[in-house]
Structure 1
Amino acid sequence: MTFDRTRWQRRFDELRAAHHVPGAALAVLVDGEIHELATGVLHRGTGVTVTTDSVFQVGSITKIHTATLVMQLAEQGKLDLDAPVQEILPGFTVADPAASKTITVRQLLSHTSGLTCDFTHDTGRGDDCLAAYVEAARDVALDCPPGTAISYSSVGYNVLGRIVEVLTGQTWDAALQDRLCAPLGLTHTVTLPEDVLRFRAAMGHLGEAGADPDPAPVWNPLPRSAGPYGGVLCATAADVLRLARMHLDGGTAPDGTRVLRAETVAAMQRRETDCPDKWTVDSDGWGLGWTLYDWDGAAGFGHDGATIGQYGFLRVAPEAGVAAVLLTNGGGARRLYSDLFRELLGELAGIRVPAPFGPPSAPLPVVLGERAGTYRREGVEITISERDGVPHLRYAFVDGMAGLAPPIESDLVAVSDDVFAGRADGAFSDDWMPVVFSALKDGTGCVYVGMRATPKAA
């Protein structure tokens, strides 16, 4: 199908302005050709315009880079996906001694290890930063026992990054450059701030929904140790798309270089676990690194990413041979993604991206019953109750994360028996947040907020 660049540029400009996104870059793969578009400004304070060679922080899309490196090592026979991590990292341990012995690489890749997500620890700029991070995480409690549920885990991806270092003898940054960026020609993908300075770089923006946001107070406060899970990598939209294209093309780069075997690529896209929360990132399940989608029967894969005021979206429709990457620097980024990709992928790939999550026009008369109570995971306490007959959520940071931010309070609107929609002014912009009730394999109730499983404590 012909890509009408002029028409899509005009639509891109319109939607970006409508959703108060300062700037954005878009790369689209159609019929084997990459098309690049840019709109808006990199920084509202300076007015520097976005160009197709501008780099953005891609956030957790980086997890695909890390997963790809790990799968290269697996197919080279350097690791067994189903072996305990301790066989590769003898000093690896977590707060639960029994779990320390059983967590596998496969569980880390598919977010089923039970390791928590929100542990950011600055271990400095040295090449030992990941080794020190994994050591520091040894006392961090699990969200749930390994293998009992999916719970999105950035900590797990840092452990994977350390595995890459141990098995390659390189830093994660160097392995990324040598084993992915070089063979794929990713000339605008970097992980260190001094390298970002070589390019036109986006500044994140923060602010209330429905208004033009202001530049964030800092460009990126996350440490080097956040690299493998998505805290530091910057890239152009086209570079992210080139990585996705390799996966779409069975592991081969456009010049014929074999980066992964076709069977390894297929394994990464194979479902490892279902996902009770199908709305936070529009996911239907998870593979080895990839978020999996079901668009009315059409299978897809991709990943989202977010840092401080920067948001990225990657979607691949393999049956149509179409892929798209959107990188943004603030404002109503998710609304821009939803509107743009529904039109773009609808026309080019014949698929329908879901509309933004929200409650039905007529709320369902659902009683909380046993779902009311207190749910806890490391650093977070979620209280589900009724206030004046209305379901209510209180999301508070506790223990080592106490004081990180004020508690979030939100009334809940029933979407189905187990799915509710919440809204908290100033916390989740104008988007509705899914609150999904489920259970671990042993029957313990849990609630998902932000793709994190939080077991019921009382």
Structure 2
Amino acid sequence: MDMDHWQHRLSNLCAAHQVPGASLAVLVDGEIHEFATGVLHRGTGVEATTDSLFQIGSITKLYTATLIMQLVAEGRLDLDAPVVSVLPEFAVADPVATKTVTTRQLLSHTSGIDGDFFLDTGRGDDCVAAYVAACAGLGQNHPPGVTMSYSNSGFTVLGRIVEVLTGQVWDVALRERLLDPLGAHSTVTLPEDVLRFRSALGHLGEPGEEPVPAPVWGLNRSAGPAGIINATAADVVRFARLHLDGGRTPDGTRVLGIEHVAAMRQPQVDVPIRQGSGMQWGLGWVLYDWPGGRVIGHDGATIGQKAFLRVVPEARVAVALLTNGGVPAEVQQRLFTELLTEHAGVAVPRFAPPADPPAVDVTRHVGTYLREGYEVEVTNRDGALHLRGENTGELAQINPVIHLDLVPVTECLFAGRRNEHEPWVPVVFYTLPDGSPYLHFSMRAAPKTIEV
């Protein structure tokens, strides 16, 4: 690996796309190569280094999924048994969902439980249990099993399953059952542990503008199993290598059975948002069918920080990029395209509308689509669709309202972006088997509620 080339490429891409700081780790030929650029905090000017911690957000879910699969391997958990068989106190607002939702559905985001319920239940060791108790009033955005919708709530419930079956709080189970065997000593969850390291602060701002330090550092502890891990990029790649090595650590310690590693990569549900991409969800992993090979991965986002992990199992290549603001999706797109093409023979597809978009009757898509914590309003502006998205929950004071002009790709698939500085994102209008109209955006399904 040409270290100078990739260091300059990372630095140049981050500068071009207003990313204050970033850390990159690449596993190639059994070696982990590390890079860093920029600053951890624009207010203090502290330099980003390869041993700096960033928030990896929802990549945390892969760690929680691995803990769950350990329990399956030990014969202590049945993926297809109802969650209430393990957590008798588990309940959501829908009585059918309460009785029938399974651990497999939680892992594959098919439970239908409204997913962006961010409730602060305190800093105590009972915070995850208290969060699960509060889910008793949580609604469904679709019936269990009929589609997929990304659910942070579901992964906190999974964290509670880990707690009940291990007798340990999630943070301790994570450390003792996974991080310590991996030698991932720069991976932590709690702020008081993060303080022992150089750590990044998120930055906020519109694409194309210089980002500024975020007013809040991280998420609530109750969101732990869904997204509060802080780590170096190299430690994230060490976790990925565990899955490449069939569940064994570099010293030969068996952390997970090879059959359970394989099971996590088996498709559970199609993701309805990308035309012809073959994008599916496994048990925790996102599965990509890209030109040149099968890829697994996950992204993560917290308050002004974004993280990306892609793994090519056949080539035994893994890449992790951790960032703290700006337009990191564009950095990731360009950098991973170059790295994976060179080292794994895999081409990263870029989603974009056609140069000559088809003529589409957009009137049937107009309306309001509502899910827990987020409202999307789709309007018709002179024959073109416009999307307005707004947080309505605890993140409303932090995340800005977004506006996307939608360009048709097909009758039901559209491409949107805030401005030319950002990559295009897919927006899909579709129906469930019962004919209910839905919007799929940002990996979430939302039912249509109001015609406008």
Contact 2:366 2:379 in 1 (8 A): yes
CA distance 1:193–1:21, shift in 2 (3 Å): same
Counterpart among 344, 348, 362 of residue 343 in structure 2? 348
Question: 2:389, 2:265 → 1: CA distance?
Answer: 33
The offset of 1:384, in angstroms, is: 3.2
Query: Structure 1 residues 373, 19: closer, same or farther in 2, change over 3 A?
Result: closer
TM superposition shift of 1:403: 8.1
- Structure 2 distance, partners of 1:455, 1:340, is 35
Aligned partner (choices 131, 134, 140) of residue 132 of structure 2 = 134
* 1:447 corresponding residue in structure 2: 439
Residues 61-102 of structure 1 deviation map (CA, whole Å, 9 limit, x = unaligned): 000000000000011011100000000000111010111100
Secondary structure of residue in 1 paired with 2:113 = coil
Confirm or deny that 1:259 pairs with 2:255. Answer: yes
Report if the CA contact (8 A) 2:363-2:380 is conserved: no
AA aligned opposite 2:200: A
Matches within 5 A, 1:11-410: 11-220=9-218, 222-230=219-227, 232-278=228-274, 284-296=279-291, 298-355=293-350, 357-396=351-390, 408-410=402-404
Question: How many pairs are equivalent?
Answer: 449
TM-score w.r.t. length of structure 1:
0.93
- Matches of 2:396 and 2:189, distance apart in 1: 30
Separation (CA, whole Å) in 2 of partners of 1:202 and 1:395: 27
Q: What are the superposed Cα offsets for residues 310-369 of structure 1, whole Å, 9 maximum, x if unpaired?
A: 1100000111111110001111111110111111111000111122x3322222211125
Q: How far off is 1:17 after superposition?
A: 1.3
User: Distance in 2 between the 1:377 and 1:445 partners?
Assistant: 13
Residue 398 of structure 1: how far off its partner (Å) = 5.8
Native 8 Å contact 2:117 2:373 kept in 1: no
Partners of 1:8 and 1:380 lie apart in 2 by 38
1:31-69, Cα deviation, whole Å (9 max, x unpaired): 111111111111122221111111100000000000000
1:415 aligns with 2:409: yes
Q: Secondary structure at the match of 1:326?
A: strand
The CA distance in 2 between the partners of 1:399 and 1:58, in whole Å, is 22
Q: Write out per-residue CA displacement over residues 399-426 of structure 1, whole angstroms, 9 at most, x where no aligned residue.
A: 999888776444321022211123346x
Whether the 8 Å CA contact 1:149–1:441 is kept in 2: the answer is: no
Kindly provide the amino acid, as one letter, of the partner of residue 454 in structure 1.
A
Q: Whole-Å Cα distance in 2 between the matches of residues 23 and 397 of structure 1? A: 26
- Please say if residues 283 and 291 of structure 1, whose CA atoms lie closer than 8 Å, have aligned partners that are also in contact: no
Per-residue deviation at 1:392?
2.9
Structure 1 residue matching 2:273: 3-state secondary structure = coil
Residue 129 of structure 1 and its aligned partner are, at CA, apart by 0.3
Asked if the contact 1:269/1:287 (under 8 Å) is kept, the reply is yes
Letter in 2 for 1:456: K
Would you say the 8 A contact 1:342–1:352 is kept in 2? yes
